């Protein structure tokens, strides 16, 4: 696959990861009652927009026609479409219910939104999975990336919300930061496993020989530096230095975004999940 051909599916995964990962964590924080309804609505509409963009990209640039020849791929593609559309529709209903003050209806919709989103993301990753970890390499990498990107974006939005509600508890920001740290840590631990599994030539050698720049960006700016920055976010949030934490979250979210773009581009260029 050429770089131009890899761009649409990579962008699709980027938007879907942001939408699903961010929404799952946003709704968990909302359910605990630690954030305002205004924050949930504002951030939720942003993630819903990401979901709509992902759907639009998938409709405009569907996967290769080869999936039609394989019943298994056809099943996963059908599951991806159905679950992603259901996620987008249910998230819309959730946000409308929350906006109209129907808290009970929103709480009923919450698990359905989260499960359909996770299911759609998993199905999309399985559809494009390779031999790494017996086919689980790409789905695990995508889900971990969704959690890291979604928590960083939700945390960045929350950091701005403290300007509107300065007495808001710092606990949700700490929870999102800790979740992001855990997701990046999992990606770091998963990377060598992914590079040591697969068919044919060792994935690490292929990446170094063919895509050394993308691979270096993925490892350094997509994993190592964001982890260090998120540690700093956690430390500043603990002492309620929220302006500093928000500034650091800008850096972390940007780097994680760059890392996910590199990872998905590498996958569609080489077939190797990172």
The yes-or-no verdict on residue 201 having pLDDT over 60 is: no
Query: For residue 268, how far is the Cα from the chain centroid?
Result: 17
Grade residue 198 by pLDDT with cuts at 50, 70 and 90.
Answer: low
The yes-or-no verdict on residue 227 having pLDDT over 70 is: yes
Q: What's the confidence (pLDDT) of residue 68?
A: 60
Q: What's the confidence (pLDDT) of residue 229?
A: 98
Highest averaged pLDDT of the listed ranges 19-28, 164-173, 210-219? 19-28
pTM given for the model: 0.94
Which residue ranges make up each domain of the chain? 3-270
Q: Report the mean per-residue pLDDT for the chain.
A: 92
The CATH architecture assigned to 3-270 reads Up-down Bundle (1.20)
Q: What's the confidence (pLDDT) of residue 145?
A: 98
Q: Give tens-digit pLDDT for 55-96.
A: 999 999 988 755 565 788 889 999 999 999 999 999 999 999
Q: What's the confidence (pLDDT) of residue 30?
A: 95
Q: What's the confidence (pLDDT) of residue 66?
A: 58
Grade residue 160 by pLDDT with cuts at 50, 70 and 90.
Answer: very high
């Amino acid at each position: 696959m050429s770089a131009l051909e890899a761009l649409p599916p990579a962008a699709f995964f980027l938007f879907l990861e942001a939408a699903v990962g961010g929404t799952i964590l946003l709704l968990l924080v909302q359910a605990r009652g630690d954030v305002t309804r205004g924050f949930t609505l504002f951030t939720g509409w942003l993630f819903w927009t990401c979901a709509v963009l992902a759907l639009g990209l998938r409709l405009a640039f569907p996967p290769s026609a080869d999936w039609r020849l394989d019943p298994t791929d056809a099943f996963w593609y059908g599951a991806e479409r159905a679950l992603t559309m259901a996620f987008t529709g249910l998230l819309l209903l959730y946000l409308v219910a929350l906006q109209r003050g129907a808290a009970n209806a929103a709480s009923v919709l919450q698990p359905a939104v989260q499960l359909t989103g996770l299911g759609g993301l998993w199905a999309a990753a399985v559809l494009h999975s390779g031999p790494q970890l017996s086919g689980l390499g790409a789905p695990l990498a995508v889900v971990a990336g969704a959690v890291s990107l979604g928590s960083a974006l939700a945390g960045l939005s929350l950091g701005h919300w403290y300007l509107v509600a300065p007495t808001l508890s710092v606990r949700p920001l700490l929870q999102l930061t800790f979740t992001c740290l855990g997701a990046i840590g999992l990606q770091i631990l998963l990377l060598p496993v992914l590079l040591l599994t697969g068919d044919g030539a060792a994935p690490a050698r292929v990446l170094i020989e063919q895509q050394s720049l993308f691979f270096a960006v993925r490892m350094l700016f997509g994993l190592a530096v964001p982890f260090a920055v998120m540690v700093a976010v956690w430390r500043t949030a603990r002492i309620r230095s929220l302006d500093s934490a928000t500034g650091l979250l800008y850096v972390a979210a940007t780097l994680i975004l760059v890392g996910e773009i590199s990872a998905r581009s590498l996958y569609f260029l080489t077939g190797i999940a990172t």
